[in-house]
Amino acid sequence: MTYSFGHREGVFWTGGEAFETINPAHPGIVSGRYSETRLEDFDTIFATARHAALEWAATPGLRRQALTETWLDRIEAATEEIALAITLEMGKTLADARGEILHSLKEARFAVAEASRPIGEVMPSARPGLRNMTLRRPRGVIVAATPWNYPVLTPLRKLAPAFAHGNAVVLKPSEISPAAACLIAELAAGLFPRGLFQIVLGGGHVGAALTGHPQADGVTFTGSVATGKAVYAAAARNLTEVQLELGGKNGIVVHDSEDLDACIDQVVAGAVENAGQRCTGISRLLVQRKLAAEVEARIATRMSRMRVGDGMAADIDMGPMASRAHFARVEAAIAKGVAEGARRVTAGTDGRQEGFFIRPTLFADVTPDMSLAREEIFGPVLSMLTYEDIDEALSILNGVEFGLAAALYSNRNDIVQRFVSEAEAGMLHVNHQSAIDANMPFAGIKNSGVGAPSIGRSAINFYTTEHAVYIKS
Residues with active-site annotation? 245, 279
- Residues with Cβ within 8 Å of residue 118, at least 6 apart in sequence: none
d(CA 330, CA 338): 13
Q: What is the DSSP letter of 402?
A: E
Contact 97, 277 (CB under 8 A): no
Contact 16, 202 (CB under 8 A): yes
Which residues are paired to 308 by β-bridges? Answer: 318
Write phi, then psi, for 406 (nearest 5 degrees).
Answer: -150, 150
Distance of CA 275 to the CA centre of its chain: 14
Contact 11, 168 (CB under 8 A): no
Tell me how many degrees the CA angle 309-155-318 measures, rounded to the nearest 5: 15
User: What strands, in cross-sheet order, belong to the sheet with 121-123?
Assistant: 121-123, 130-138, 464-472
SS3 of 57-95: the string is: HCCCHHHHHHHHHHHHHHHHHCHHHHHHHHHHHHCCCHH
Radius of gyration from C-alpha coordinates of the chain:
23
d(CA 267, CA 393): 17
- For β-strands 343-344 and 427-430, DSSP reports them as unpaired
- Residues with Cβ within 8 Å of residue 396, at least 6 apart in sequence: 251, 284, 286, 368, 373, 385, 387
Q: What is the DSSP letter of 25?
A: T
Which residues are paired to 386 by β-bridges? Answer: 287
